[in-house]
Chain A
């Protein structure tokens, strides 16, 4: 299993995701956003951070980077693509995933642990969550309020393209368990082919007990043991 982590100016979770990938035996290399060629990879990761300072719309400038065409080609050939936090925002800006991420409902940055229900277990990112489908991960974002119109929400629900929803520890999903105002409590979505996942929570920050949880590990194990 080979991965490439794309580094944009302002990425700041690039090292964290690289540490996680390597911990789970995925051979990783860092790729500069301005490179023309993507090294041969099974998985490409767009890491969290503040690409270009998020001074324009989040992820907007990064979505115009030179490497993006190569990444689109990679997904067309069935390659896996994971966008975490700012990476998810870049994915919606490129149009690889539908919908958009707005500012959090309370207009404040939120950094805390949240519970999530894994709502799609049938994909290469999440199949190991069959063992445990209510999990705890950390969120850290200012623009994580996923918005989709009713037609899109219906499509996402009907086609089972929602990967994670914000919940409580028992898996209940309602307004009280929604930290940022996301439509239908959505924390992460897949494309129709299920080879692209965008998510706001940070699985790479929960890969050992010392970091207050290991629920992120299951995602990297899923990737390593690709279906």
Chain B
């Protein structure tokens, strides 16, 4: 078959990339081989634009067992327990078909976890939608939430947390980032690297169908007018089969049958076989007649590029085939020995008695082109003099507006559609700073959070990248955890544009600075470029999933106010930074100016002091101050505990608006009782941590002296209604 320019282009390959292919293999590829190159050389699978910059990230600390490069990262949490976790994007498919796109996003990330031998114990997600008024948003929101619930509820893994944000830059490119967390014995981790020659290559799980063909390539290009036409590239999820696959794999993993294992995710059978063999520096030969197919007359091209879900590829020890088959048959799953490992260093595919492809594995892995793309430096926006007289707008009106806005209102409508208590170990539910999941049968737990701040990153990527890592760190500290490591999902526009690449490079720089300083390394993640429609790209959105350890659950703490007559303290310095704050964006509609800057020394110092106070059991509750500033954070604490507060007017050189709504970073609110007041003040002073005492808790209402008084019930209505009203039929 003649490989025309059109055909090359429709496979998402550039002309010079095609030339490189011909050079590498010393001949023209056939159509099947071209398809394989397209699957392995696209941005989603190859990281060709991002690799150079990702190398900057800190990837190790004393807890890290496995950093980036495997199905997921692994960290040690003591007593032979390890946590396996990763976050991944499913943005493009979710925009085309929200239910299935989101569902298979959850399915895919769960497979990354149990492929390593871990039992998944929690999922989280970060969702970004367009403006609520955009005609597509309501449908996308409902479809994505139902899809995430439909998959996770069925398989029975608790969905313990996440975030949902609305912003018009996502009108035509939503973000669906799914994170999964698993528990494993650190001595029994399974990897994808193949070992040994003449070992059986085994296909298990669902049959291969014609769904999701070229899914990864679709996800590596921007959308045009015709996004909906790409629906056939979206996979269809089957959580029931995934549950069977999960149980069958974990059952087989109890003994030493498996040498290596890899799930068939993006680029299906192609990427799984290529990755396993190339990591093991051996060859692999597959007989495509043996691949279980859902439909008749499937071609090798379709089999190799299908992204049908719920499939796994295993390489197992000789003689273990029967044991493995028995287990998979018990769970009613397909099981087929489709090939063997070889010493050729090539990927060889046979079909109906003839060889249909033969490619050196290096051409699909180490020789994938890498780009050093041009990028444009970002400048820090100026602090424009703000003309409007803020004093005219009442403090209470600002609070009400922020609390009832889509981005700041309570997300119960969403998380009550997710089973968050199955498995019986969810000890801190969605809605707090971090979720906490107990390690089964033990008195320790992991704290989990997922965070992003796209408008900070848009305003100045370096600060934004730094901020989002710190936000995750703070959220873990706030529940009493020791932050250990992160996973990141980097969502950006078209990297071929210098502005987008500039945003990427500087966000990654920010992330790198923060995670190095805080000893909070990146152990897994993915990059999603080309989040762009008709030439308009999304706001740069790195999403950070953080994991921390609570060694003794007695030291777990929450944000809800525990009692009346207790002091409320602001920990950390408030400087009055209102640019990019919710007050400016939501209340005034002013979106220019720089995001708040992070001082990493203060971040670490303040966080460690909070840890000290928690471990001494002299704080009642802790909440980090983020979006909306002090007054919003304090209201959240009061609503969670159903206890009010009387706030005194602070004595400083700021306006009340600046003090109450500024989004200066590295700050927390804490509740302490009177008898610990002296002790807490002493510790804070010894550690040079700035603090303000801003009020005392009381029954039923929130008051600001000489300014306002409002009942908790009224605030609760404002805080809890937005999602219900928006989705009313």
Question: What is the interface of chain A, defined by CB distance below 8 A to chain B?
Answer: 9-10, 12-13, 15-16, 19-20, 48-50, 52-55, 108-112, 138, 140, 142, 202, 204-205, 207, 210-212
Contact of A12 among B241, B415, B422, B426 (CB under 8 A): B422
| Contact A53 to B154, CB < 8 A, known contacts A109-B149, A111-B420, A211-B424 | yes
B332 within 8 A of A: yes
- A205 to B158 Cα, complex, angstroms: 12
- A14 to B332 Cα, complex, angstroms: 19
Q: What residue of chain A has the Cβ atom nearest to residue B333's Cβ?
A: A9
Contact of B418 among A12, A52, A55, A111 (CB under 8 A): A111
Chain A positions within 8 Å of B418 at CB level: 109, 111
Chain A positions within 8 Å of B146 at CB level: 108-109
Given A109-B149, A140-B422, 20 other A-B residues pairs in contact with their CB atoms under 8 A: A9-B243, A12-B422, A13-B156, A16-B424, A50-B239, A53-B154, A53-B241, A54-B154, A108-B146, A108-B417, A109-B153, A111-B415, A111-B419, A138-B421, A205-B421, A205-B422, A210-B553, A211-B421, A211-B424, A212-B429
For this complex, 8 residue pairs linking A to B, each with C-beta atoms less than 8 Å apart, are A53-B243, A54-B240, A111-B416, A140-B422, A142-B153, A205-B422, A210-B438, A210-B553
Chain A positions within 8 Å of B429 at CB level: 212
| Contact A111 to B421, CB < 8 A, known contacts A50-B154, A50-B156 | yes
Least CB distance from A58 to B in Å reads 11
Least CB distance from A67 to B in Å reads 15
| Contact A49 to B156, CB < 8 A, known contacts A9-B331, A110-B417 | yes
| Contact A109 to B417, CB < 8 A, known contacts A10-B154, A210-B438 | yes
Contact of A110 among B244, B416, B422, B423 (CB under 8 A): B416
B155 within 8 A of A: yes
Least CB distance from A142 to B in Å reads 7
Least CB distance from A59 to B in Å reads 14
Q: Assess whether B424 is in contact with A111, with CB atoms less than 8 Å apart.
A: no
Q: What residue of chain B has the Cβ atom nearest to residue A34's Cβ?
A: B330
- A138 to B239 Cα, complex, angstroms: 23
Least CB distance from B608 to A in Å reads 26
Q: Assess whether B239 is in contact with A211, with CB atoms less than 8 Å apart.
A: no
Least CB distance from A48 to B in Å reads 8
- A12 to B155 Cα, complex, angstroms: 7
Q: What residue of chain B has the Cβ atom nearest to residue A52's Cβ?
A: B240
Q: What residue of chain A has the Cβ atom nearest to residue B418's Cβ?
A: A111
B238 within 8 A of A: yes
Least CB distance from A140 to B in Å reads 4
The 9 closest A-B pairs by CB, nearest first: A12-B156, A53-B240, A140-B419, A50-B154, A16-B424, A111-B419, A109-B417, A112-B416, A205-B421
B427 within 8 A of A: yes
- A211 to B422 Cα, complex, angstroms: 11
Q: What residue of chain B has the Cβ atom nearest to residue A15's Cβ?
A: B423
8 Å CB interface, B201-257 against A: 238-241, 243-244
Q: Assess whether A55 is in contact with B422, with CB atoms less than 8 Å apart.
A: no
Mask, B424-436, CB within 8 Å of A = 1, is 1011010000000
- A50 to B155 Cα, complex, angstroms: 8
Chain A CB count within 10 A is highest, among B415, B418, B419, B426, for B419
Chain B positions within 8 Å of A13 at CB level: 156, 422
Q: What residue of chain B has the Cβ atom nearest to residue A55's Cβ?
A: B240
| Contact A9 to B240, CB < 8 A, known contacts A16-B422, A16-B424 | yes
- A44 to B422 Cα, complex, angstroms: 20
Chain B positions within 8 Å of A20 at CB level: 424
- A207 to B238 Cα, complex, angstroms: 32
Chain A positions within 8 Å of B417 at CB level: 108-111
Contact of B153 among A9, A112, A140, A202 (CB under 8 A): A140
Q: What residue of chain A has the Cβ atom nearest to residue B159's Cβ?
A: A111
Chain B positions within 8 Å of A212 at CB level: 429
Least CB distance from B429 to A in Å reads 7
Contact of A50 among B243, B423, B426, B438 (CB under 8 A): B243
Chain A positions within 8 Å of B244 at CB level: 9-10
Least CB distance from B430 to A in Å reads 10
Least CB distance from B216 to A in Å reads 27
Chain A positions within 8 Å of B150 at CB level: 109
- A13 to B424 Cα, complex, angstroms: 9
Chain A positions within 8 Å of B422 at CB level: 12-13, 16, 48, 140, 205
Q: What residue of chain A has the Cβ atom nearest to residue B241's Cβ?
A: A53
Chain A positions within 8 Å of B415 at CB level: 111
Q: Assess whether A211 is in contact with B426, with CB atoms less than 8 Å apart.
A: yes
Q: Assess whether A12 is in contact with B416, with CB atoms less than 8 Å apart.
A: no
Q: Assess whether A53 is in contact with B421, with CB atoms less than 8 Å apart.
A: no
Least CB distance from B158 to A in Å reads 9
